[in-house]
Structure formats: C-alpha cells, structure tokens
Amino acid sequence: MAIQLHPQYETLFLLCNTPWGQEEREKMITELDKMGFEGEVFYQKHFRIVEQYYQTFCKNRIESRGTELLCDMDEGLVIIYTVLFEQHPDWYEDLSAVSEEVVAEAVEDVLISGEEGISDIIAALELAEISDESKWKIIKFRQHAKQQLGDVAAAIKENIPAFEKARSKIEKRLNILLKQFCKNINKAEKAALYKIPEKIMPDGEIIPTLAFPMAVFVNSRTCFYGLLSDQIAMGKEAEFTREGLLVGAKALSDKSKLEILLCLKEKRLCNFEIAERVGLTPATVSHHMGTLLAAGFVELSKEGGRGCYTLSRQDVEYFLQGIRQLLLTGQ
C-alpha cells in the first residue's frame, strides 16, 4: 500500500497523547456530542482501534527527557515541532552543527513573522487564545529551542520501535482505514478536505494519522488528516446533509475562525498575515485553517513558497442554501 502512517510524525503525536485513558475518552465523546453525533455510540463503533493503538504503544515506550517535554503538550506546540522538523529535516538527524541562534531564528519564524526577539513573541502570545500554561511552554521552548528539539528528536527515534509494535497490533483494521483513505483521495469528486494537496502542489502532501484520529491541520507543505475524520468530512461529497451542516456550524461557532473568514472577505492572505490580523500565532492559525478547509469555506494555494488563503464564496453560498433547504423548506 503506497500510503502509510509516517513513523516520525506518528511517534511524535503518540508521545504527546500517551496514555489514552478515561479522560481522553470522555473528552472525545463530549466533542462528538457537540458535533451532533451520539458520542458514546460513535466512540464504541470507531475508537476501539485507537485505544488498542495507544495501549500497545504505552506498554513499549521508552521514557527520557524528550518524552517528559512532550507529556500533555498543547496542540499548538505540537504543530510548532512538526513545522520545524518539516522545514529542517536534517535537524531531526543531527543538531550538533547548528547554532543556538539559527534554531532560535527558525522558531521565531514559525511563531511570528517579521519580528525578532523574545519580547515580540511575548506580545504576540498575549493576544493568542491559548492557556497561560501553553504560553509559558512556548516561551520556554524559544529560550531552550536547540536543547528541546534535540531531546524530542532523540525521544522520537527511541520510540519508533514502540510505534511499529502498536501499528502491528492493529494492522488488519488499520489497513482497512488506509485503503478507504486512498480511495477517497483518488476520487474524481472529492470532499473539500481531500483537495488540499492539489491546492498546495507541487510539493504538498497529505499524511494520514491515527494518533490524532479526528484532527486536521495544515503546515506549509503538509496536511495531517485523522483517519476517523472521514465519518464527517465526506458528508458534503454528494449533497448537503446534516453532517455538512455540522461541519460548517463548527467552523462558524468559534470567534477566531469567524474573524479569519471576515479578514479573507476583504482580500487574499497568507498564514502569517492572518496571524497578525487576528492576534494568533501562525501555528494556531494553521490549526484553525484545517477546520475551515474541511468546511469548504476557504481555498488554499501557493504564493512565493507560502500557503495563501481565499474565501470560497461559492461554498459559503452553498452552505447558506443548504441551511435554508434543511431547516426551512424541509426538502
């Protein structure tokens, strides 16, 4: 099978979420309930593979300074690590020849564009809609970026065997999910989310993940797509459905996502420009864009090596018409 889980990134994601226990289960069921599904029923049907995946990984993982850093990590910081390893793949192999200053500059480029220094990052984080604990972790990461990146890279390498054992444990059911994933991305008429790689070509890539089973987030050249997201994302493929309404409603229910759409109403903007306008870190904006892309409200294209977004007026109109059809005409 051509498309598989990515060992490096998947191990990183697993380390951030281990263990997957009762707390994670309850959070996921609550989120599913908010999206209009019967959370308990949906979870029992689809998430047993995720629980077994994490349980097997947890039994075989190796603890280190890097795993301590990744424990209970905010999703925004996970994205920052992912972007840095994506932009500098050689750093994953060896950071010894790279200076502290070069690494710090790379971190600043990810956190905030066009500014320099810790004071500018603090100012940006004060506006960001993340917890105080997450802000502190990001500042601490900026101050010790080289050491922390090296520790995390070492932790990933040490735990790839644990990932491989976990993947082997669920291989049969995983292959079914990957087969469906391949089928969906090769369809001529795709759901909006599956069109992302084409929008960021020639170097764009869509990578499946089971560690973040319902998440979708986009980096500069990569889209990570949760293998259980199909249950919702494909709802808009043929005709407007209740699932399609839920996807759009979720995108509009968050203040930051609405502000992003209002900015794009004015003009086409790149990730860093959006971050500056709405007072979020670029990594957080990338996370929000995954939901907006899934809803079909925005389109992604390449400009000067960066991903830029435009408001998809046609899909917004389609959503409004769908609401009218489902709620008013009943047809």
Q: For residue 47, count other CB atoms closer than 10 A to its CB.
A: 20
Residue 96 falls inside a structural domain: yes
Across-strand partners of 36?
none
Is the predicted pLDDT of residue 191 greater than 70, yes or no? no
Residues 96 and 202 in one domain: no
Residue 217 belongs to domain with CATH number: 1.10.10.10
Give the closest residue to 308 by CA, choosing from 195, 218, 233, 224. 218
Q: Dump pLDDT digits (tens) for 129-158.
A: 455 666 666 777 777 889 999 999 999 999
> Is residue 11 a contact partner of residue 162, using CB atoms and an 8 Å limit?
yes
pTM, to two decimals: 0.68
pLDDT of amino acid 36:
64
pLDDT of amino acid 202:
45
| For residues 288-303, average pLDDT | 77
Q: What is the mean pLDDT of the chain?
A: 78
Residues 214 and 146 in one domain: no
Number of domains forming the structure of the chain: 2
Residue 136 falls inside a structural domain: yes
What percent of the chain shows pLDDT beyond 90?
A: 24
| For residues 11-21, average pLDDT | 89
Q: Dump pLDDT digits (tens) for 216-269.
A: 777 667 778 888 876 655 444 444 566 667 777 777 888 888 899 999 988 888
pLDDT of amino acid 281:
78
Is the predicted pLDDT of residue 208 greater than 50, yes or no? yes
The segment with the largest mean pLDDT, out of 92-101, 162-171, 280-289, 301-310, is 162-171
Residue 32 falls inside a structural domain: no
Residue 211 falls inside a structural domain: yes
Q: Give DSSP secondary structure letters for 133-184.
A: HHHHHHHHHHHTHHHHHHHHHHHHHHHHHHHHHHHHHTHHHHHHHHHHHHHH
The domain of 237 spans: 181-331
Confidence of residue 302 (pLDDT cuts 50, 70, 90): low
Is the predicted pLDDT of residue 57 greater than 90, yes or no? yes
pLDDT of amino acid 128:
44
pLDDT of amino acid 126:
43
Q: Dump pLDDT digits (tens) for 86-128.
A: 889 999 999 999 998 898 888 877 765 434 444 443 344 444 4
Confidence of residue 296 (pLDDT cuts 50, 70, 90): confident
Confidence of residue 200 (pLDDT cuts 50, 70, 90): very low
Under DSSP, is residue 72 helix (H, G, I), strand (E, B) or coil? coil
Is the predicted pLDDT of residue 299 greater than 50, yes or no? yes
Residue 231 falls inside a structural domain: yes
Q: How far apart are CA 4 and CA 206, in angstroms?
A: 11
Residues 135 and 214 in one domain: no
Residues 189 and 300 in one domain: yes
For the chain, how many residues are written?
331
Is the predicted pLDDT of residue 168 greater than 60, yes or no? yes
Q: How far apart are CA 121 and CA 142, in angstroms?
A: 9
